[in-house]
Amino acid sequence: MDKRRKLVIDCDPGHDDIMAIMNALAHPELFEILGYTTVCGNNYVDKVTSNLCKVLTAIGVDGTVAVGYDAPMVLAPDPQPAAHGESGLDGPVLPEAKVRPVAEHAVEFLHDVCSQAAAKGEKITIVALAPLTNIALFLKTWPELAGAIEEITLMGGSRGKGNILPRAEFNLYADPHAAKLVFASGVPIVMSDIEICVECGTEHALIDGLKGQGKVQDLAHDILQFFSQYGRRRGLSYSPVFDLVPVMHMMHPELFTEKKCRVLIETEGAYTRGMTIVEEAKEEAEANVTLVEHCVDNEAYNRYFMENLKVLDEMVKEKR
């Protein structure tokens, strides 16, 4: 029996989204990537979809890409050129895309893969690296398919820090109504928040060392050089690569501690939109989230990160 986890990666590439995707692609013995769904987040959906298709083309891998919503459920889009540049993925020079999105909408794609999994008595995992609009609207439309989702492992939220507002993380801030719906859905959620992403931060010297090592590592270098500008300008020696954490947590759970929590989402606050209220659950039944709490070995985490990029380089070399 095929024991690999079946993944749908919901994303808005996005520099760190691409690092998560490269790391997952490096391990086909662990993950079967059923497809990618894109959504408005860091930038509008046409831009982030085009970024993803160009990167897959640059690496030389194919994949099913289904385009999702171009706006959050209630609020207006809020692109982030300061973090990701005007294109949503500034930094690398990318080829014209040969990978093309399918005609199916992202939620229809989710419907199809969940229906097929349910029919076979299997489950899928959603890796959510962006605002939760696609996932919320899928669950709202077909709640009967929620049981086909083993878990949603997501990057989002915080225990107190903020990266878009003083107390709010971008993905949940961008579509708090979607987040509220997903967190109340009863689907098991694994949450990697700002705090754990900072603990897993990558030293800039490691990023600098990727140059000249191969096609994938060169591309990762150019992507991460841009993404780490913020930290470098502030004199930090490392940068968080947020979206990588959920993928690394699936690959190496031994590197992390976890805690069962009750997480609520603020949707209305003028200063707290998208803020997560995270409380340790007193009883298991009260918890709606497994919080990825601490990284016990930053050095090992980042060693695996660098190794995975090397592995993907070898894989795509062999394919040619």
* 190 contact, one of Ca ion, ligand BDR, none, CB 5-8 Å limit per kind: none
Residue 128 makes contact with Ca ion by CB under 5 A: no
Q: Kindly state the number of chain residues that form the binding site for ligand BDR, as judged by CB under 6 A.
A: 15
Q: What is the DSSP letter of 241?
A: -
C-alpha–C-alpha distance, residues 149 and 85, integer Å: 33
Applying CB under 6 A, the span of 11-19, 26-34, 103-111, 245-253 interacting with ligand BDR comes to 11-19
Residue 116 makes contact with ligand BDR by CB under 6 A: no
**How many CB atoms lie under 10 A from the CB of residue 253?**
12
Please give the residues from 196 up to 235 whose contact with ligand BDR meets the rule CB under 6 A. none
Considering only 57, 64, 80, 87, the residue that binds ligand BDR (CB under 6 A) is 80
Roughly how many angstroms between the first and final C-alpha of the chain, as a whole number?
29
Helix (H, G, I), strand (E, B) or coil at 189: strand
Taking the complex as a whole, how short is the minimal distance between the CB of residue 17 and ligand BDR, in angstroms? 5
Applying CB under 6 A, the span of 164-172, 183-191, 204-212, 231-239 interacting with ligand BDR comes to 164-172
Considering only 43, 163, 239, 302, the residue that binds ligand BDR (CB under 6 A) is 163
Please give the residues from 119 up to 138 whose contact with ligand BDR meets the rule CB under 6 A. 129-130
The strands making up 5-11's β-sheet, listed across from edge to edge, are 65-67, 31-38, 5-11, 124-128, 149-155, 189-192, 289-295, 256-265, 276-280
C-alpha–C-alpha distance, residues 101 and 99, integer Å: 7
Considering only 7, 14, 178, 267, the residue that binds Ca ion (CB under 5 A) is 14
ω into 162 cis (within 30 of 0): no
Residue 130 makes contact with Ca ion by CB under 5 A: yes
- Residue 124: C-alpha distances to residues 70, 116, 179, 216, 303 (Å): 24, 10, 19, 27, 28
Query: What would the x/- binding string for ligand BDR be over residues 237 to 276, using CB under 6 A?
Result: -----xx---------------------------------
C-alpha–C-alpha distance, residues 302 and 317, integer Å: 23
Taking the complex as a whole, how short is the minimal distance between the CB of residue 278 and ligand BDR, in angstroms? 15
Residue 313 makes contact with Ca ion by CB under 5 A: no
Tell me the backbone φ, ψ of residue 223, rounded to 5 degrees: -65, -45
Which residue from 104, 119, 23 is spatially nearest to 64, judged by alpha carbons?
104
Applying CB under 6 A, the span of 14-22, 61-69, 212-220, 277-285 interacting with ligand BDR comes to 14-22
* 83 contact, one of ligand BDR, Ca ion, none, CB 5-8 Å limit per kind: ligand BDR
Taking the complex as a whole, how short is the minimal distance between the CB of residue 189 and Ca ion, in angstroms? 17
Considering only 10, 17, 195, 293, the residue that binds ligand BDR (CB under 6 A) is 17
> Which pair of structure tokens corresponds to residue 305?
């990160």
**Percent of the chain that is helix, strand, coil (3-state, to 5):** 45, 20, 40
Binding site for Ca ion (CB under 5 A): 12, 14, 17, 129-130, 243
Binding site for ligand BDR (CB under 6 A): 14, 16-17, 42, 80, 83, 129-130, 155, 163, 169-171, 242-243
